[in-house]
Amino acid sequence: MRRKTTWRVGIVMGTILIVSVLHYSTPMSHDWLHALFERAYYVPVLLAAMWFGWRGGVLAAAFSSAAYTPFILTEWRSSPAQQAALFVELGMFFLIGGLAGLLFDQEKKHRANVEETARRLSEVYAQLQASFEQLRRADRLSALGELSAGLAHEIRNPLGSIEGSVQILRRPNLSEETKQEFGKLAEEEINRLKELLTNFLQFARPQAPRRRPTDFGQLFESVRTLTEKTAKMSGCHVKIEPSDGLPSIPVDPDQIKQVLLDLVLNAVQAMPEGGEVVLRASTGDDAIGIEVRDEGIGIEPGNLEKIFDPFFTTRASGTGLGLSIVYQIVRQHGGRVEVRRNPVRGMTFTLLLPLDPDGKAGESQVLSALH
């Protein structure tokens, strides 16, 4: 810092010396050169004002005046009017040096305030980041606790049924019909446990998508074929709306099929009195939108934010992992899931999948086309 100050002082004093030497060495017959050199004194004055503030500007003006005054007294003594004008010019050195220095002082003060504010904001941002990381850790621990509690609860119920069935089967003199009944009950609960653990492992350790170009028209037909029997048993019908011109986009067809199967089966279960499930799709600039619409009993408004949480379910026989897996698979594809209540009845789930595998699904015009 001291070296920098010394270097700047040297520039100011050197400039004053050079201008003065040019004044004294130039013949008086070159009036226009003297007028130019006279204005050149403003350069060191302004430099000093910029670097050292109003004090530096005034000191530079004083040195410039001291260097120029002998020249005025000796060379312009024959022209009192010119001398007076030049002495006024010397006064302007002080005025310009002082005013410029004040302005530069204000600018430096303002810049220092901005830098200080930026430093404080940086510190606050760092503190917020640290707090955010703590919240994220706490949130992960909380989610882990809820996940463990949900899994324990879901496992406990079938284990209780299995235990009760085994105790009954131990009793002597049971009829063959009773043995068959409780053996079947135990088998059903074991299968339920297997399904629960399979879904949980799929949720906890999801596989990365194996993408390949996929025809969604064929995918819809496959989903309808797989769900048709279940839908008919409930008095429901799966309808595919025409979606000509859909591009083949790189997704994992097995995973997306699983998503659509879960959503269609959920829709069928939500229509105990029958109804129609509609599958349709539309494309935009950056995403394809897939809609699954039903005419079921709907979801309570207070539960809309919970339906993707693991183990949240409103059905007695549900595991509460289906929609969580749906959400996770779509997120792994760079997309998102949206859900809304229909104007009349039922719900609509919308999957937004990016056309670019490395991108994310944007709004584009997909939602407006679907709605």
CATH number for region 212-370: 3.30.565.10
Does this model's pTM top 0.85? My answer is no
3-state secondary structure the chain: CHHHHHHHHHHHHHHHHHHHHHHHHCCCCCHHHHHHHHHHCHHHHHHHHHHHHHHHHHHHHHHHHHHHHHHHHHHCCCCHHHHHHHHHHHHHHHHHHHHHHHHHHHHHHHHHHHHHHHHHHHHHHHHHHHHHHHHHHHHHHHHHHHHHHHHHHHHHHHHHHHHHHHHHHCCCCCCHHHHHHHHHHHHHHHHHHHHHHHHHHHHHCCCCCCCEEECHHHHHHHHHHHHHHHHHHCCEEEEECCCCCCCCEEECHHHHHHHHHHHHHHHHHCCCCCEEEEEEEEECCCEEEEEEECCCCCCCHHHCCCCCCCCCCCCCCCCCCHHHHHHHHHHHCCCEEEEEECCCCCEEEEEEEECCCCCCCCCCCHHHHHC
Domain boundaries of the chain, sorted by first residue: 2-123, 212-370
Give me the tens of pLDDT residue by residue for the chain, a chain 371 residues long: 778 888 888 888 888 888 888 878 888 777 778 778 778 888 888 888 888 888 888 888 888 888 878 877 776 666 777 777 777 878 888 888 888 888 888 888 888 888 888 888 888 878 877 776 676 556 555 555 666 666 666 677 678 778 888 888 888 887 888 888 888 888 888 887 777 777 666 666 667 888 888 888 888 998 988 888 888 888 999 999 877 677 788 888 888 988 898 899 889 988 888 899 999 888 877 888 899 999 988 888 777 777 777 766 666 555 667 788 888 888 888 888 888 888 888 999 999 988 876 666 655 555 544 55
